[in-house]
Amino acid sequence: MTNTTMKAVVSNKYGGPEVLSYTEIARPNPKDNEVLIQIKATSVTAASIFMRSGKPYFARLFTGLSKPKITIQGTDLAGEIIAIGKNVQHYKIGDKVMASTDLDCGAYAEYICLAEDAIIVQQPHNMTAAEATGMIDGATTALSFFRDNIQLKKGQKVLINGASGSIGTAAIQLAKYFGTEVTAVCSSKNEALVRSLGADFMIDYTKEDFTHLNTPYDVIFDTVGKLSYSKSKKALSKNGVFLTPVLLIRSLFHMLFGSLFGRKKLKFAATGLRPEALRKRDLLFLKNLIEDGKLKTVIDRKYTLNEIQAAHRYVEKGHKVGNVVVTF
């Protein structure tokens, strides 16, 4: 490889992991307002799977109707700034940063150019690039739900379903940070992990149905979209809220009209579609929490860029523990 090319993973059509092609392409050059980042780590998230497969189909409204609008996927990254445009003021060569590119993608590559006002913040000094990139998806999502969609309050009882996943492992830690009592729902193999992250109680979803336990929760956060709201409602307190990051047709009615028939509510949010300035603020908030020792990243597996198909196959199974990262 010369310094005018780079390794990247390119996909020109929707499909299975085999559409991801590890190849060599031209390396980008920063414009006047951009930084050039040498990527050290990126993530394979649940969103990476829908961007690659084009399913569910409604997601194509954002990613391209018949084929991906963006051919290099990957939305989260951590790396080092190795060049800057002449108008860049807030970053310098050598800065270690983490960034989220969301629908602009581009992180499955050795290098990326980003405008300096994009969602870039300094990498936490106590995290590796792999840990920093692994944290972004789950923690920014959980934070936005807890702090913006509801104002999570000290002393509330929170049940987190899918507690061993990417959003789940971050949600446990953030719910504890906000001073709540946390019940983690996951399988027994992950009990030690969720307790180490701060969960006060654990329920094994393969053995027990929490809706039968007669415990009222102020918040049920179904991070993996596996619960029925109608059924879970009876486990909500009088003004309880059911949160979900997964948009299901069956939830739409409850979301739009549910509050007309009672005080319990279902809330969905697409946290990645919020304005960049807010998401940058959140990443900064999380960086500070990490540096204060209040948030860590759970990493399940690490792959290299040329193993991206295997990484996608693993994530697609829906049983990862925390996060899957790709290191360079």
Output helix, strand, coil percentages for the chain, rounded to the nearest 5. 35, 30, 35
DSSP 8-state symbol, 24 = E
> Phi and psi dihedrals of 94, rounded to 5?
100, -15
Binding segment for ligand NAP (CB under 6 A), chosen from 11-19, 75-83, 161-169, 208-216, is 161-169
Name residues contacting ligand NAP, limited to 289-328 (CB under 6 A). Answer: 318-321
Binding residue for ligand NAP (CB under 6 A) from 17, 74, 134, 138? Answer: 138
Q: How far is the CB of 91 from ligand NAP (least distance, A)?
A: 27
Q: How far is the CB of 237 from ligand NAP (least distance, A)?
A: 21
**CA proximity to 16, closest of 316, 269, 327:** 316
- Work out whether the CA dihedral 246, 106, 325, 310 comes out positive or negative: positive
CB neighbours of 262 closer than 8 A, spacing ≥ 6? none
Binding segment for ligand NAP (CB under 6 A), chosen from 14-22, 32-40, 133-141, 278-286, is 133-141
Q: Reduce the DSSP state of residue 259 to 3 states and report it.
A: helix
Q: What is the per-residue binding string for ligand NAP in 267-296, x denoting contact by CB under 6 A? A: --xxxx------------------------
Amino acid at 162: G
Distance CA 267, CA 254 (A): 9
Query: Hey, what are 10's tokens?
Result: 């390119």
Binding segment for ligand NAP (CB under 6 A), chosen from 68-76, 106-114, 193-201, 218-226, is 218-226
Name residues contacting ligand NAP, limited to 36-65 (CB under 6 A). Answer: 45-47
Amino acid at 197: L
**CA proximity to 237, closest of 257, 259, 265, 212:** 265
Q: Does 17 bind ligand NAP (CB under 6 A)?
A: no
Q: Does 198 bind ligand NAP (CB under 6 A)?
A: no
Binding residue for ligand NAP (CB under 6 A) from 39, 184, 186, 219? Answer: 186
Residues 157 and 188 sit within 8 Å (Cβ to Cβ): no
Binding segment for ligand NAP (CB under 6 A), chosen from 191-199, 221-229, 232-240, 288-296, is 221-229
> Phi and psi dihedrals of 313, rounded to 5?
-60, -40
Q: Does 141 bind ligand NAP (CB under 6 A)?
A: yes
Q: How far is the CB of 203 from ligand NAP (least distance, A)?
A: 10
Number of residues in contact with ligand NAP under rule CB under 6 A: 32
Provide the CA 209 distance to its chain's centre, in angstroms. 27
CB neighbours of 209 closer than 8 A, spacing ≥ 6? none
Q: Does 202 bind ligand NAP (CB under 6 A)?
A: no
Residues 264 and 236 sit within 8 Å (Cβ to Cβ): yes
Binding residue for ligand NAP (CB under 6 A) from 113, 132, 167, 295? Answer: 167
Query: Hey, what are 27's tokens?
Result: 């390396």
Binding residue for ligand NAP (CB under 6 A) from 68, 165, 240, 258? Answer: 165
Q: Does 201 bind ligand NAP (CB under 6 A)?
A: no
Binding residue for ligand NAP (CB under 6 A) from 17, 68, 124, 162? Answer: 162
Residues engaged in binding ligand NAP (CB under 6 A): 45-47, 137-138, 141, 161-162, 164-168, 185-187, 190, 205, 223-226, 245-246, 269-272, 318-321
